[in-house]
Amino acid sequence: MFTAPDLSYMAFAPIIIVLLAGAIGVLVEAIVRDAATRRAAQLTLTLVATLGALIVAAVQWATTTEAGVVAQAGFFVMDKQALAWQCMLLVFAALGALLFAARTRAGEEAFTPLGSAAPGSPEEAEALRRKLEVTEVFPLLLFAVGGMMTFASTTDYLALFVALEVFSLPLYIMVALARRKRLLSEEGALKYFLLGAFSSAIYLFGVALLYGAAATTSYAGVLGAILASPGDLALFVPGAILVLVGILFKLGAVPFHTWSPDAYQAAPTPVTAFMAAATKAAAAAALVRIVFSSLYPLEWELSWMIWTVAIVTMVVGTVVALVQTDIKRMLAYSSVAHAGFILVAFAGFSPEALSAVPFYLLTYGLATIGAFAVITQVREKADDGTVGGEATRLGQWAGLGRRDPLLAGAMALFLLSFAGIPLTAGFIGKFQVFAAAIDGGGWPLVLVAVLASAAAAFFYVRLIVLMFLTDVPEDQQEAVEVDYHPYTRVVVWITVIATVFLGVMPVWALQAASDAGVLLTGL
Amino acid sequence: MFPFLTILVLLPLAGAALVRALPDGARGRVREVALGVTLLEALIGLVMLTQFDLGDAGTQQFTETYEWIPQIGTSWALGVNGFGLSMIVLALILTPLVILAEWRKDKKDPARTARYLALILVLQAFMVAIFAARDVFLFYVIFEAMLIPLYFLIGGFGGEQRRYAAVKFLLYSLAGGLIMLVAVVALYFVGPGGEQAYLIDNLAGYDFGTTPERLMFLAFFLAFAIKAPMVPVHTWLPTVAETARPGTTALLVAVLDKIGTFGMITLGLVIFPEASQWAAPVIIVFAVISVIYGAIAAIGQTDMLRLVSFTSVSHFGIMVLGIYAFQQTSVEGAALYMFNHGLSTGALFLVVAFLIDRKGSPYVGDYGGLQKVVPVFAGTFLIVGLSALALPGLSPFVSEIMVLVGAFEVAKIAVIVSATGVILAALYVLLTYQKVFTGPTKKGLEKTRELTLRERLVLWPLIGLMLVLGFFPSLAIDYLREPAAAVLTTINAEVSE
């Protein structure tokens, strides 16, 4: 007989608010015809939804007991770990929405006027002439965030899969919507989609194996089954490995990273900003919960994989980033290297990782959004003075420190934070991650991480050299214009302040992270 | 207790902000503002000298401890003993002199001058903070963070190869620092832990277990050896010296490189006494190699800035020898040498810079017979040069003798070999003087400007100080005796066990 599950709607208010707002956003698309009004309405709706959900989540954080709420028939939990990730994702989403809404001085937005039109077709030209706009990116953003938030709070392998698809599908679409270099954009989206589908299949296969062994798909159930049959892990180990592959794909770890440089470069830069920060956060959230509430008895069987992937990811990400000439690709590979640093925290499965990983992702995400926001402001200039697409070749950034010292200074700060220089947030993040690894006995891994950081500093610093220390003669200067939009600048300054603040006074954030370091297992 | 040290850290930072914020109209006065800030800073330093309890020079004074990030066990803990104070005083003396020495650079570009001076002031804040840090984490943070102003000072102002030099410097320092970071993190887990896990007082004498202690010591030592710089990780220094502005290099070699030897004593010996003992023989070998290699390399240089930087490699070898001989006189001598070497090398870099200002060339071969044209300049140059070869009567002599005599008992061969370095020093100093100042005056040098008043104001106080401390070394030694003794107590306790 069917018994209705006990649903605690209040506990899940943040997710419900976001998804409901996404649904309303779709209706707004259908009803409001005027593009400018529609954009304003969508932006307002998105900001209200994300910030509202953020407030609700914060209140829940303040009022929640140590344990949090188990609900929806054991599929989800709202413990402090989940709430911490959700707050982080909502902040990223709100910042992302501001970037989505920003336009160039000439009033050009980052997205194509008509996603369904073939690149270069008469339909597209017509859409451009009629100044159409795809404002459905805002509901797509909300759906993606809703999926990610669910991803962070689920305690069931199948529910995780549903959440994975909920946040992935909007991302595939958004990647394809770049206004310029349409073919490249669609190619990147297609690659992302195909590889994403492939990794979903691998993940599902892993879940099937786990189900075959444990006869349940819940984290706790699998954990119990592993503990109950210590001698017979023949299905658990391959199942766990395949599940981890699926998550590592989203995290962008080598060798599952190949989508990320293409997708990062191809996507409209505001989407890249949001995707780079939020996808990685969601993937890390799921990884933390899976490892520490379900798979930790398999430490012996899994740690070789985590160590190998971590080392290869750090080395490949760093080395390949060294030779990039496109700034978006460079940051893409740097984000691959960061995936490796995140994995370092899992060496030895020290529970310190439960606090270290969220903090690391917060620092990384803020600097990433800030850095891509800066990229949207540096534009190519044609001979007749019209401002074109983003100037992403590294050479075009030479001398930016002269033209706009504040913007270039902000970029330099984000780069220093990526490099983990003290007094920036990135340093505290790295420190936490290394501490977790050393606590778990993983100091050789930390040594590799440290050497990779030193090498990575080289390409971050190279960009700083270009911006500040390279003298370019007037006549050889690349035609580059620094664009301006208040939304983008707001995002840049918020992330700058947060990066400095978390680097100098991380006390409260660390306290929150350590409060979040207790998992509720779900059953 | 009046927070002298925090003020000493914050004042230059405020000064840097002020310098950058000056409106265009007042930009012309930017040098005066910066100089004023550093003089005020020096004045506070002077007050601290008078307030310092010399009878108790071995304990930390002016201490301040505030909670910073209790979750990772670090505090904003400052304090100085006589040794730390001597280093801070050195930084406070040299910074205004460097600003004065670089007075005429970029005269037509006040915005650029403002950038340079702001960076120098930020650097000064870090210099004070690092010598006052009583918390390993804080020490590490400053150790790494100060690379940023230095990086911009080297890469933004100087010769053609400056970007290359800046990156080389940064990567060397960062690599050392990051390896140190592993040990810093490890300290939390193998150490006492808790909310003040990184206070040096809590870590001193803690039993980490032999292997962890040795590994952590090696990580710290590598970072300090790169900073100091010791052979074979010294190669960044000549590159930086030949390209950066001499003022920057003077601060770098005279003060910042001392962080290496300072760290060896205040962190290395204090926190890892057993491992220091264990590694001492090998370190002494490297120290001796540095002494000889630096001296021989200096003789081979044609670029005077490179020459001076190699003499420093040689001199740092002597300091390291003194530290790891673990004798009261040798450690005292090493600490004293750190101060005197700062005066001597600072003056040397600046006097070479003044010479280069006149002809525009750093090469010895482009000069000749200047003695007749600019006698005062020649005399000043000679005295400064003689201080580098440790002539009796000038303060470096005392410290070098103390190190060599003190270490003789335990490391006879090392001392004898190092003593030849002193003879080599006579070669590189006197040969250079001979080529530049004696003989027939080279064409085009007849009109060379005599030492100006500003330049005398820069150099003569340093020479005066070296003379005073050369004849009355106890003025400085009184500050260093007890800190050295305190450090050696922990080492010797380890030996007797």
Q: What is the pLDDT of residues A449-478, one digit of tens each?
A: 988 998 898 889 889 888 888 777 666 666
Closest approach of A369 to chain B, Cα-based (Å) = 23
Cβ contacts of B70 on chain A, cutoff 8 Å? 507
pLDDT value of residue A26: 94
Determine which of A469, A504, A505 to mutate to test the interface with B (most B C-beta atoms within 10 Å). A469
For every residue of A346-396, DSSP letters joined together read TGGG-TTHHHHHHHHHHHHHHHHHHHHHHHHHEEEE-TTS-EEEE--BGGG
Percentage of residues in chain B having pLDDT higher than 90: 40
Q: In whole angstroms, what separates CA B102 from the centre of its chain?
A: 19
pLDDT value of residue B105: 79
Instruction: Closest CB to B181: pick one of A416, A450, A461.
Output: A450
Determine which of A175-184, A228-237, A408-417, B104-113 has the lowest per-residue pLDDT on average.
B104-113
pLDDT value of residue A522: 45
Tell me the two tokens of residue B259: 């962080």
How many residues belong to chain B? 497
Q: In whole angstroms, what separates CA B14 from the centre of its chain?
A: 24
- Between CA A209 and CA A213 the distance in angstroms is 6
Cβ contacts of A506 on chain B, cutoff 8 Å? 69
**Taking 70 as the threshold, does the pLDDT of residue B348 lie above it?**
yes
| Record: contact B145-A450, CB cut-off 8 A | no
Exposed e or buried b per residue across B10-22, where buried means at least 16 C-beta atoms within 10 angstroms of its C-beta: ebbbebbebbeeb
Cβ contacts of B166 on chain A, cutoff 8 Å? 465, 469
**Taking 60 as the threshold, does the pLDDT of residue B496 lie above it?**
no
Query: Where residue B288 falls among pLDDT bands split at 50, 70, 90?
Result: very high
pLDDT value of residue A157: 94
Which has more pLDDT, B430 or A478?
B430
pLDDT value of residue A69: 64
Determine which of B138, B146, B185, B233 to mutate to test the interface with A (most A C-beta atoms within 10 Å). B185
| Record: contact B178-A439, CB cut-off 8 A | no
- Between CA B455 and CA B452 the distance in angstroms is 5
The mean per-residue pLDDT over the stretch B29-43 comes to 90
Determine which of B109, B126, B141, B161 to mutate to test the interface with A (most A C-beta atoms within 10 Å). B141
Cβ contacts of A443 on chain B, cutoff 8 Å? 182, 186
| A interface residues, B as partner, C-beta within 8 Å | 416, 421-423, 427-428, 430-432, 434-435, 438-439, 443, 446-447, 450-451, 453-454, 457-458, 461-462, 465, 468-470, 506-507, 510-511, 514
Q: Is B179's Cβ below 8 Å from some Cβ in A?
A: yes
Cβ contacts of B170 on chain A, cutoff 8 Å? 457, 461
**Taking 90 as the threshold, does the pLDDT of residue A329 lie above it?**
yes
From residue B33, give the alpha-carbon distance in Å to each of A27, B39, B42, B106, B343: 62, 10, 14, 16, 24
Determine which of A112-121, B218-227, B262-271, B458-467 has the lowest per-residue pLDDT on average.
A112-121
Cβ contacts of A471 on chain B, cutoff 8 Å? none
Closest approach of B63 to chain A, Cα-based (Å) = 21
**Taking 90 as the threshold, does the pLDDT of residue A410 lie above it?**
yes
Determine which of A129-143, B19-33, B349-363 has the lowest per-residue pLDDT on average.
B19-33
**Taking 90 as the threshold, does the pLDDT of residue B94 lie above it?**
yes
Query: Where residue A193 falls among pLDDT bands split at 50, 70, 90?
Result: very high
Q: What is the pLDDT of residues B376-421, one digit of tens each?
A: 989 999 999 999 888 888 888 899 999 999 898 888 888 998 888 8
* Cα pseudo-dihedral B216, B218, B223, B225, rounded to 10: 150
Q: What is the pLDDT of residues A335-387, one digit of tens each?
A: 999 999 999 999 888 888 999 999 999 999 999 999 999 999 998 887 777 77
Closest approach of B56 to chain A, Cα-based (Å) = 34
| β-pairing verdict for A378-381 and B74-80 | unpaired
**Taking 70 as the threshold, does the pLDDT of residue B224 lie above it?**
yes
Query: Where residue B119 falls among pLDDT bands split at 50, 70, 90?
Result: very high
- Between CA A341 and CA A428 the distance in angstroms is 13
**Taking 70 as the threshold, does the pLDDT of residue A72 lie above it?**
no
B136 HSE (CA, 13 A, CB side) = 32
| Record: contact B142-A422, CB cut-off 8 A | yes
* Nearest of A258, A439, A474 to residue A351 by alpha carbon: A439
Query: Where residue A66 falls among pLDDT bands split at 50, 70, 90?
Result: low
Q: Is B376's Cβ below 8 Å from some Cβ in A?
A: no
**Taking 50 as the threshold, does the pLDDT of residue A523 lie above it?**
no
- Between CA A486 and CA B196 the distance in angstroms is 44
Cβ contacts of A430 on chain B, cutoff 8 Å? 181
From residue B406, give the alpha-carbon distance in Å to each of A27, B331, B391, B401, B417: 86, 8, 19, 8, 15
Q: Where are the domains of chain A?
A: 13-515
- Between CA A366 and CA A360 the distance in angstroms is 10
Q: Which three-class secondary structure state does DSSP give residue B268?
A: helix
The mean per-residue pLDDT over the stretch A85-110 comes to 91
pLDDT value of residue A474: 67
Q: Is B72's Cβ below 8 Å from some Cβ in A?
A: yes
| Record: contact A421-B144, CB cut-off 8 A | yes
pLDDT value of residue A521: 59
Cβ contacts of A350 on chain B, cutoff 8 Å? none
pLDDT value of residue A68: 64
Q: Which three-class secondary structure state does DSSP give residue A262?
A: helix
Q: What is the pLDDT of residues B458-491, one digit of tens each?
A: 899 999 999 999 999 888 888 998 888 888 887 7
ipTM for this model: 0.87
Tell me the two tokens of residue A493: 């300054």
Cβ contacts of B156 on chain A, cutoff 8 Å? 468-469
Instruction: Closest CB to B182: pick one of A434, A465, A468.
Output: A434
| Record: contact B182-A469, CB cut-off 8 A | no
| β-pairing verdict for B74-80 and B61-69 | antiparallel
**Taking 80 as the threshold, does the pLDDT of residue A239 lie above it?**
yes
Q: What is the pLDDT of residues A41-51, one digit of tens each?
A: 999 999 999 99
The mean per-residue pLDDT over the stretch B85-98 comes to 93
Query: Where residue B346 falls among pLDDT bands split at 50, 70, 90?
Result: very high
| Record: contact A421-B72, CB cut-off 8 A | no
- Between CA A374 and CA B235 the distance in angstroms is 37
pLDDT value of residue A477: 67
**Taking 70 as the threshold, does the pLDDT of residue B264 lie above it?**
yes
Cβ contacts of A431 on chain B, cutoff 8 Å? 72, 181, 185
Closest approach of B95 to chain A, Cα-based (Å) = 24
- Between CA A400 and CA A409 the distance in angstroms is 9
Which residue is closest to B67 within chain A, CA to CA?
A: A507
